[in-house]
Structure 1
Amino acid sequence: MSEEGRGRMVTQTEADLDDATLVARSRDGDMQSYEALVRRYQGPMYRLALRMLGSTSDAEDAVQEVFLTVWRRLAQLQEDRAFVGWLYRTTTNRCLNVIRARRPQADVELDEHESTSTRTRPDHAAEVSEQMTALGQALTGLTPEQRACWLLREVHGRSYDEIAQTLGTTTQAVRGRISRARAQLAEVMAPWR
């Protein structure tokens, strides 16, 4: 291999590597590779936990616990390419356990990021804020399983099969939960149409 070729391999960053490579390196004890995975998926897992739990502190705790658990159990992952699905499953199950362990909270914070257009138009920002508050409250009215299915499908774009695997149920059950969640949310959100 030429000196130039070796230089390119050495300078390749974790951001350039695919998940399977980072997982394999992490399993071999490479903390930098695992940190790259955490940086890559911390945001989506936090948003999922925040929407499921309705509390920033609970979501932060849940995601921190998930990444610690995943690090400890990384050797148990059979296929490196299955990491993302495993991460979603672990996060969802952790959130469901937190929900079952406490009474549902009335307020659900959805996302602390505002779009540029809502910052420039205060009237629009107020309306969007009211809609997000209403949606957050509507989500707390769903069963934890319905909420998990709806969020994984509508917010995180997971397939019905992936959601079924994540929750350890059938695709038909997932479709039913999402259908009931959509109907219930549509009813509650009807004034906003």
Structure 2
Amino acid sequence: MPNWDGLDELELLAQAQDGDPEAFGELYNRYAGLIFRFLYAHLDDRLDAEDLTHEVFMKTWRSIAKYQQQGLPFSAFLFRVAKNCLVDFYRRLGQHAHDLSGAEQTDALALSDPAGEISNQMEHREMVRLLHSLKEDYRLVLTLRFFSGLTPEETAHVMHKSVGAVRVLQFRALGALRLLLEEEG
């Protein structure tokens, strides 16, 4: 098995575009966690987020040969695919993002620290509940910037907006979130 640690994203991409499944597997290893967290923040359902993460990487693998670097990291492309998969998911359900409440998680007791996991899940559910009460653009900009760690430039690429528009949107979204937190005391 090759050592991928020394290879940067562009070298891995070139190998994956040449059909190397191990290089694509390394891209998966590097980005699957970020994509999962982004999707989970929107869905609040671990199984749906896992399924959509798989779908994102399957779609990416099928189209990787056509991918062209546009001055942004590969992760920005992956998040755009993830956003599109999320939209398709909602469309299949016939619902909008803010209408979804997420399913209960039942696997917390199987973990080594059930109390800690339950506390984490409660905090996550509360944050998702607050995010779901925001406008869709606000929710998207906050999850891309803070859950997924994208730069304003990468977020702009995913959202099809200018960097300035993303910054304004982020400012407004944080203000709206702050108001919600103040209302809840």
C-alpha displacement at 1:134, in angstroms?
Answer: 2.0
- Whether 1:13 aligns to 2:3 is yes
Q: 1:126 to 1:46 in 2, by over 3 A?
A: closer
Larger radius of gyration: 1
Deviates more, 1:34-43 or 1:173-182: 173-182
CA offset digits 1:54-98 (Å, max 9, x no partner): 222221121111111111111221229742221122112322333
CA offset digits 1:6-39 (Å, max 9, x no partner): xxxxx75123321111111111111111111111
Q: TM-score, normalised by structure 1?
A: 0.75
Gaps of 5+ in 1: 1-10, 114-118
C-alpha displacement at 1:129, in angstroms?
Answer: 5.3
C-alpha displacement at 1:53, in angstroms?
Answer: 2.0
1:162 to 139, 146, 154: 154
- Whether 1:27 aligns to 2:27 is no
Gaps of 5+ in 2: none
Letter of the 1:181 partner, please give it: A
CA contact (8 A) 1:139 1:147 kept: yes
Q: TM-score, normalised by structure 2?
A: 0.78
What percentage of residue pairs aligned between the two structures are identical?
25
CA contact (8 A) 2:73 2:154 kept: no
Q: 1:30 to 1:139 in 2, by over 3 A?
A: same
- Whether 1:84 aligns to 2:75 is yes
* Match of residue 145 from structure 1: 137
* Match of residue 38 from structure 1: 28
Q: 1:143 to 1:108 in 2, by over 3 A?
A: farther
CA contact (8 A) 2:35 2:82 kept: yes
